[in-house]
Amino acid sequence: MVAVLLCAIVVPVVTGALLITGDRFSPAVGALTSWVVAVLGSVVTAACVVLAVWRRPELDHEWVPAIGMRLHLAVDGISAPLLLLTAALGVLVVLHARVEPPTRTGHGTYLGCLLLVTGGAIATFLARDAILFFLAFEIVLVPMWLLIKGFGDPKHRASASAKFVLYTVLGSTLMLVGILGTVYLAGTADIDGLVGGAGLSTTQQTVLAAILLIGLGIKVPLWPLHSWLPAAHTAAPTGGSVLLAGVLLKMGTYGIARLVVPVLPAGVERLAPVVGVLAAVGILWGGLVCLVERSLKRLIAWSSVAHMGFVVLGLMSGTRLGLQAALFGNIAHGIVSALLFFVVGGLKQRWGGDDLAVARASLRDTAPRLGFALVVGMAALLGLPGLAGFWGELLAVASVWNPDGSRPVLLFRVLALAAALGTVLAAGYALRVLRVVWAEGSPAEQAAAPGTPEAAQAPRPAPRPVDADGYEWAVVGVLVLGAVALGVLPTVLLDSTEPAVLHLLEVAAR
């Protein structure tokens, strides 16, 4: 059973590396062959992840004693949902690549990078050694950079990819400094062994927590460290955007939930008001930008900044409910943002641009399936009850309203109000998008659309059906079902994370 843990990481990484190598031959391996290999790789990976989540094996082996890094992999209630989400998105993005192939040659490289990002994310969620966690964290960087740089929107990709990779490296190196400091002072790199402060003084904890929170805050991203995210999403290809929003951002909040909140409780207690304010500013800031943003893809990216703010706010509340809300919000945002980026990415390619100011035919007339998916996604984004987004936000606001006794209650109540205001803003921008894209417009206006300068400049996309069908519809449909299922049956997820959360808080409080 231990083998599935290794396979869950090795299979995507090796398949990805093979696909990229296959592209270097001349002539390169064909597009269809690459795709079939990638699908097989991602399905096997997903199977391994499911097995690992089901059987919960544990691997603990010496690896690099020079830096005290052990090959320690395991699954628990906190990482299991994220692992399943990553594996599922890994399969979906590869399937979707058949519908929306990269705009230039290099299918193998594109698919290989998708698999490498998936593999790195799975490794991050499996790692139970703090230094191994950092290593896994870094695996996704270069492939993601390549996805944006090599396959992104030609207008923005150069600066966006540089911004992404430099910001993230700075963040992760700061995180490394924090990890190394914690590991040295605590005398162990085992994440479970670190829980509870490990005898560190409050000052030490505060310094380490500040360094770790800045480092991870870049990845989350926490306002004001977010500016790389909208740029990266604007430039990234659809598959890259989905993985970026659905998986990479989660690595940041997962890191906070794993390495900061339980490990440095006293430090977090001191910093919680500051971080909470930043998160609340992020919620309002993101919401306000979304109200006026013209690029649809960028708008979804900004909404991610706002939604990750809810997750961080929940984490800072210091309560069981807050931690649960954060983990739920993570998964919900992963599903919803992935759904929206699939839909919006498809729309951007069909339209030859994603400027909301361009008049187009209404989506409900021209593409009812995509329109339906967009409605579901946007409704989940605004936190409509019965959909995934609702529970994460509701519980986060509730936990912030009643924070842990050590937090300043008045400030946190104000933050809760600000967050609630953020949901109102979310309703505002979600409905704005639906009005502009889904409801308004007429077929007559569409005739005028291709003549706009934006459409003329855009690279000529491969001809695509007007509405989603085949793989695209299947991919989008799965995510719609996921968003609904999580909204209707939140207890399935909440119950599965509860024991782990309780255990973590119990040990941390001791």
Partner 1 sequence: MNVTLDYGVLAPVLIPALGAVLVLLVDAVLPRLGRWHWAIAAVLLIAGAAACVPAFLSGSDARRTLCLDATQCLYVADRPGSALQTATLVSAAVVALLVLPVRSPADRTPIASALVLTAASGGAGVAAARDLGSWLVLIELATIPTVALVAFRARRSAVDGALSLLTTSLVSFAVLALGAALWFAATGSALLDGDAVLAAAADPQAKRVLVLAVVLIVAGLGFKLSLVPFHAWTPEAYAGASVPIGAFLAVTSKFAALAALLVVLRGVTVLGAPALQAIAVVAAVSMTLGNVMALRESSALRLLAWSTVAQAGWVILPLATVARGAVRAATGYLLVYGLATIVAFAVVTLVAHAEGRGRVVGLSSYAGLFRRRPLAAVTLAVALLTLAGLPPSVVGLVAKVLALRPVAADGLWWLAIVAAVNAMLGLAVYLRWMLAMAGTPAPDTVDDRPHRLHLALVVLGLLALGVTSVAPQLLLGLAG
Where on the chain is the footprint of partner 1 (CB under 8 A)?
A: 17, 24, 63-67, 69, 120, 131, 134-135, 138-139, 141-142, 145, 149-150, 162, 165-166, 169-170, 173-174, 176-178, 180-181, 184-185, 207, 211
Nearer to partner 1, 63 or 471 (CB): 63
| Of 217, 382, 388, residue with least CA distance to 309 | 217
Of all helices (H) and strands (E), which one includes residue 63?
Answer: strand 58-64
As measured in angstroms, the least distance from the Cβ of 12 to partner 1 is 13
As measured in angstroms, the least distance from the Cβ of 107 to partner 1 is 16
As measured in angstroms, the least distance from the Cβ of 189 to partner 1 is 11
As measured in angstroms, the least distance from the Cβ of 36 to partner 1 is 23
The CA distance from 241 to 152, in Å, is 10
Nearer to partner 1, 198 or 484 (CB): 198
386 neighbors 485 (Cβ within 8 angstroms)? no
Nearer to partner 1, 65 or 199 (CB): 65
As measured in angstroms, the least distance from the Cβ of 94 to partner 1 is 20
Nearer to partner 1, 54 or 184 (CB): 184
Of all helices (H) and strands (E), which one includes residue 155?
Answer: none
The first and second tokens of residue 174, run together, are: 């700061």
The first and second tokens of residue 172, run together, are: 């992760």
CA distances from 351 to 340, 448, 451, 460 (A): 16, 12, 11, 10
Nearer to partner 1, 137 or 390 (CB): 137
As measured in angstroms, the least distance from the Cβ of 244 to partner 1 is 18
Q: Which residues pair with 190 in a beta bridge?
A: 129
The first and second tokens of residue 283, run together, are: 């919620």
As measured in angstroms, the least distance from the Cβ of 175 to partner 1 is 9
Q: Is the peptide bond before 490 cis (omega within 30 degrees of 0)?
A: no
Nearer to partner 1, 173 or 491 (CB): 173
The CA distance from 172 to 97, in Å, is 29
The CA distance from 359 to 435, in Å, is 12
Nearer to partner 1, 162 or 414 (CB): 162
H helix runs in 260-408, sequence order: 265-292, 296-316, 320-351, 363-366, 368-381, 388-401
As measured in angstroms, the least distance from the Cβ of 162 to partner 1 is 7
Nearer to partner 1, 139 or 475 (CB): 139
Local structure of residue 261 (DSSP, 8 states): T
CA distances from 151 to 35, 102, 106, 347, 502 (A): 16, 6, 9, 17, 43
The CA distance from 311 to 345, in Å, is 25
